[in-house]
A and B are shown apart, each in its own frame.
Chain A
Amino acid sequence: MYRLLIKHFFRSKTVWLAFGILMFLGVLSISTGKQFLNQKQATIAKTAEQQQKHIETQTKLYEDDIGLLLYYLKFSFVNPVQPLAGISMGQSDVNSHIQNVSILNLEGQKYDTDLVNPMRLQVGNLDISFLIIFLFPLIIIALSFNILSEEKEKGTWKMITTQGISPFKFLLKKLSIRVVFIYIALSILLFLAKVVLGIPFAIEFLYIIIISYLYILFWFALCFFVILLRKSSNTNAITLLSSWLVLVVFLPVLVNNYVANKYPVEEAFAMTIKQRDAYHTKWDTDKKETMEKFYNHYPQFRKYELKETGFSWLWYYAMQQMGDDESKVERDAMFDKIRKREQLSASIAQFFPPLQVQLSMNTIAHTDLSNYVAFLNETTRFHENIRLQLYPKIFENQPASSVNWQEYEPVFFEHQNNFNMLKSVFPLLLLTLILIGLGVFRNLKYFR
């Protein structure tokens, strides 16, 4: 029985076409991922060399004025790209991976973007996560929308029911061939991705595999449900395609639009103006007042006293510090908005598998928004560390050679995501079971 069904399945041109499309786009998406990883990794590899060169030239130019030297000197902080990012690029092509900051006012430097072609960003990426979320459902629909209706329309269904085999089992067999076939295609692609992108076989990759398989099962469950409504092939096709259109194309943009309009992040503008004004106005206000604020922030530097007249780096860097310190309210408001956006997206997404799968994959691959926010926050810590190391040198006016510049190599950011596998697959699993259950339940009297 199975053998004949499989034979029949592969006789269809649609099957070969579907397989061809999947493999072609699969290879294309993996190479896109590979190219993306290569570009990012090459840039990251160069930073160490560039930083060394930069420090060498600058320390030579300003060797006798460490205050001036540190006005120019920049230090790199790197958010490394995981190989999994090749599977799900998420927001990692939008946001910068390398921070290159001097010890001046950080808020003026932290949000600088990388150079990316906006056209490319708008068209979106062709990575495997896109293939799985967007294309696989369509192929599943094309392969299975008429497995029952076609038999009925051709008149072969009666022959099957009169042969004494359970029609329900027959239908399940037909569907299971398709499930196995699609799973094999997906496995080939994931294996290829693992080899080409150099993904280590760790728990994170396993999560991606499980989520993909469950997502595909969800679509089969939806097909199963619609098939068992026992309508004509045309109606099935239209119903399934409309569900696909709504779930994969329409709802995601609607949700995003809703979230973006509900929480517009205008605080970003307010913050960026504030950090400028807070620093610059200090040139015209009382020096002592500025210094007092600075000493309050760093009591350990109270021992460095300001001389009565003239310019001093102590005062200058205290002013710079005020840019960061006094824009804190606006900055917190901005990050609060971003957090709200994340929470709202996540809570809506759990009801809609395509959204849920995309967000989960991004989280697993460290390419989501929270990774970027964590990177920004960690940049602040990195910056503060360097400040604290170098402030005393400036305030004591030590020669530039007193610092061991060799130690200042790019620092790499390590991010622990708090991905909850159970929480992210539970709704998906539940929906799948409900669909299968409903399908079976409605048809109990037909299939025994």
Chain B
Amino acid sequence: MKNNAIILIGTQFFKKTFYTKGLFVLLSLFLAVLAYVTISGWNAYEANHHVVEHHQESSRKSWEENPDKHPHRMAHFGTFAFRAQHPLRIFDSGIESYTGNSIFLEAHRQNTANFSEASLSTGLVRFGDLNIAMLLQLILPLIIFFIGYASITAERENGTLKIIYIQGTPLNKVLLGKALGLFLLSTLFFLPSLLALWSISFIENHTMNSAIIVRSILISIGYIIFFMTLCCITVIVSAKSINSNRALLSLLAGWLLFFIIIPKTAQVIGNSLYPNLSKIEFKAVIEEEVTKQGDSHNPDDPYFNAVRDSVLKANNVTDVKDLPFNYSGFIMSKGEKQTALIYNDQHKKLIKTYEHQNSITDNLVLINPYLAIKNLSMSLSGTDFYTYTHFLSQTEKYRYQQSQYLNDLQMKFISNKAKSSEGKINVVDKSYWKSAPTFSYEYVSIADTIFNQITAIIALIIWLLLTIIFITKFSNRFKII
């Protein structure tokens, strides 16, 4: 009986607002944009998927079409790894515009991931990306504020609030009712968006290991909690403000602070506290480390000379030409192992620095529900920072595997007396190119994603609980007149 009041106020607020012209215009605009964004995003994803697949195949094909060759020639022929997008990037493209899309993988050289979307775009790209998540994260909150800012102040200004109170409904029930009504209104906007998400996940469900259904469920829950919290906050601000104007300005200032200024400032501060090396410095560090530990390209290098002596001893010969395997292949495999270790070490440090830069944002998740939903949505859509570093480490692992495969071929099949890699004399049969390992990208597992975003999930739940508790416990003290 008592809860009926909440439902009554909620449905009344819903009906009253639903039939206003403004809402109709807003809703139709929102839905039109949503339809455009979903369709264009989907087309772009399909096109990209096609392009990546096509180029991955064509680069593999030209690899396999190589004739009999010296394995080291193949090591520098190299392969390309193209980043396959997760289907949920249609929903939330996260940092994908800013991460490189293709990496050239060759022996003893780690190349950068190139051709990010942003590097080929005009300055307009910096206003942000248009996707469903952007509509839900930035635009819909503003719409909720616009619809709900006067929910309580209008009743107070009309004098109806005191009538409702006198009729026996405590203020907290009025607030909860209004929040409910506001939430119902917001479902008109986000339910179609989630519908778009679900159609993506059902139609693209064939994508292997993408855990797309679980991800979609979690994304849906996350957004529902986020919008519930926002509705409660809107109603609280409206109840605490003297008039509607003030309520709207406060909500707007809050939006500006929490949605724009805090995220930007946090990243700026993170970057200035933990600056990372530039590429040239990074390369110089690696070069220095390599010369310190031993450079396999230097014929007089003491470290590699010691390696040579021990190999000669173990095989009971005096000249590398008498070894039962190709010596330069052997040295290259040693050198590859050593430089890969040094590189991985430095690369880990770089990623650590990036993580430090991001740590300020990650910690602010607790006090900023927008950052929480942003990070969560990005992670679950497979477009976050972790997914990117995961891709980089997979390509490096594959690069190493491929280089060593070719070094092994050289050790086994190339004569020790071979002087050059040129021509048709010192070659390996081309069938070995076909049997070389292929690169296949594995998506981040759903367990890892949840583990990474556990603070964001907890933060969202805590925010919802706090706002509801605040309404039920404290709102009875708010002014009625």
Set of chain B residues within 8 Å of A124, measured between Cβ atoms: 126-128, 264
A43 and B281 form a contact (CB under 8 A): yes
User: A114 contacts B245, CB within 8 Å?
Assistant: no
Contact with A along B42-61 (1 / 0, CB 8 A): 01100110011001001100
Contact call A345/B122, Cβ cutoff below 8 A: yes
A114 partner, pick from B279, B287, B361, beta carbons under 8 A: B279
In contact, B112 and A112 (Cβ under 8 angstroms): yes
CB neighbours of B401 from chain A (8 A): none
Interface string of B286-310 (1 = CB under 8 A from A): 0100010000011000000000000
Interface stretch (choices A170-178, A197-205, A277-285, A436-444): A277-285
Q: Which of A118, A134, A266 contacts B95 (CB 8 A)?
A: A118
Would you give the 0/1 interface string for A340-370, flagging 1 where the beta carbon is closer than 8 Å to chain B?
0110011001000001001100100001110
Mark contacts of A96-117 with chain B using CB atoms, 8 A cut-off: 1 yes-contact digit, 0 otherwise: 1010100000001001111111
Asked whether, in the complex, the Cβ of B123 is within 8 Å of the Cβ of A126, the reply is no
Given A264-B48, A284-B67: A256 and B104 interface contact (C-beta under 8 Å): no
Q: Which of B134-142, B171-179, B332-340, B433-441 contacts A (4 or more CB under 8 A)?
A: B134-142
Known contacts A234-B244, A272-B115, A283-B422; A57/B280 CB under 8 A: no
Contact with B along A259-272 (1 / 0, CB 8 A): 11100111011101
**A206 in the interface (beta carbon within 8 A):** no
CB pair B98–A252 under 8 Å, yes or no, is no
Compute how far the CA of A108 lies from the CA of B111 in the bound complex, rounded to whole angstroms: 10
- Complex Cα distance A5/B267, Å? 41
Shortest B17–chain A CB gap in Å is 13
Contacts of B276 in A (CB 8 A): 115, 117
Residues of A within 8 A of B119 (CB): 91, 94-95, 111, 113, 372
With contacts A234-B244, A257-B129 known, is A284 near B66, CB below 8 A?
yes
Chain B residue with the shortest CB-CB distance to A246: B29
Contacts of A359 in B (CB 8 A): 122-124
Q: Are B130 and A253 touching (Cβ within 8 A)?
A: yes
Interface of B is mostly: helix
Q: Are B248 and A273 within 8 A (Cβ)?
A: no
Contact in complex: B357, A119 (CB < 8 Å): yes
A46 and B264 contact, CB distance less than 8 A: no
Shortest Cβ distance from residue B430 to the other chain A in the assembled complex, whole angstroms: 10
Residue in B closest to A238 when the chains form the complex, CB atoms: B146
**Shortest distance between the CB of B447 and any CB in chain A (Å):** 22
Q: Verify B281–A310 contact, CB threshold 8 A.
A: no
- Judge if A90 is at the interface, Cβ distance under 8 Å: yes
- Which residue of chain B lies nearest to A24 when distances are taken between CB atoms in the complex? B261
Contact A120 B267 (CB under 8 A): yes
Nearest CB of A to B1, in Å: 36
Q: How many residues of B contact A (CB 8 A)?
A: 98
Give the docked Cα–Cα distance between A433 and B233 (Å): 41
Task: Say whether A253 contacts B278, CB under 8 Å.
Answer: no
Stretch in B69-77, B214-222, B450-458 with 4+ CB within 8 Å of A:
B69-77
Closest to A97 in B: B278
Interchain CB contact under 8 A, A39 and B275: yes
Grouping DSSP codes into helix (H, G, I), strand (E, B) and loop, the A interface class, with mixed when no group exceeds half, is helix
B115 proximity list for chain A (CB < 8 A)? 111, 265, 268-269, 272
Does B252 interact with chain A (Cβ within 8 Å)? yes
A90 vs B62: C-alpha distance when bound (angstroms): 38
- Supposing A108-B104, A119-B354 touch, asked if A273 and B122 sit within 8 A by C-beta, the answer is no
- Do A264 and B128 have beta carbons less than 8 Å apart? no
CB pair B118 A14 closer than 8 Å: no
- The answer to whether A25 and B261 touch across the interface, beta carbons within 8 angstroms, is yes
Shortest distance from the beta carbon of A309 to any chain B beta carbon, whole Å: 9
Contact of B78 among A100, A270, A276, A358 (CB under 8 A): A276
- Which B residues touch A270, using CB under 8 A? 55
- Point out the residue from A113, A258, A362 that lies within 8 Å of B116, measured CB to CB: A113
Contact of B80 among A17, A272, A349 (CB under 8 A): A272
Closest Cβ neighbor of B300 among chain A residues = A61
Residues 358-393 of A, flagged 1 when their CB comes within 8 A of B and 0 if not, give 110010000111001000000000000000000000
Do A115 and B252 touch (CB < 8 A)? no
A312 nearest CB across to chain B (Å): 9
Cross-chain contact B80 with A273 (CB below 8 angstroms): yes
Q: Which listed residue (A46, A90, A94) contacts B98, Cβ 8 A? A: A94
Contact B279 A96 (CB under 8 A): yes
Distance in Å from the Cβ of B77 to the closest Cβ of chain A?
5
Q: How far is the CA of A96 from the CA of B118 in the complex (A)?
A: 12
Neighbour of B120 across the interface among A43, A310, A341, CB < 8 A: A341
Contacts of B76 in A (CB 8 A): 280
- B195 at interface, CB cutoff 8 A: no
Cβ B118 vs Cβ A261 within 8 A? no
Name the residue among A96, A123, A138, A277 with the largest chain B CB count within 10 angstroms.
A123
List 9 tightest A-B contacts by C-beta distance, closest first: A252-B127, A257-B130, A121-B98, A253-B130, A118-B98, A256-B124, A362-B123, A345-B122, A123-B267
In the complex, 14 of the A-B residue pairs with CB atoms within 8 angstroms, ordered by the A residue number, are A14-B249, A28-B268, A98-B279, A113-B116, A119-B354, A121-B98, A123-B361, A252-B124, A254-B33, A269-B82, A269-B115, A272-B104, A272-B114, A277-B62
Given A118-B388, A120-B267, 9 new contacts (CB under 8 A): A28-B265, A61-B297, A121-B98, A126-B268, A255-B124, A256-B129, A257-B130, A284-B69, A338-B120
Interface residues of B (CB under 8 A from A): 22, 33, 37, 40, 43-44, 47-48, 51-52, 55, 58-59, 62, 66-67, 69, 73, 76-78, 80, 82, 94-95, 97-102, 104, 111-130, 134, 138-139, 142, 146, 150, 244-245, 248-249, 252-253, 256, 260-261, 263-265, 267-268, 270-272, 275-284, 287, 291, 297-298, 350, 354, 357-358, 361, 385, 388, 420, 422
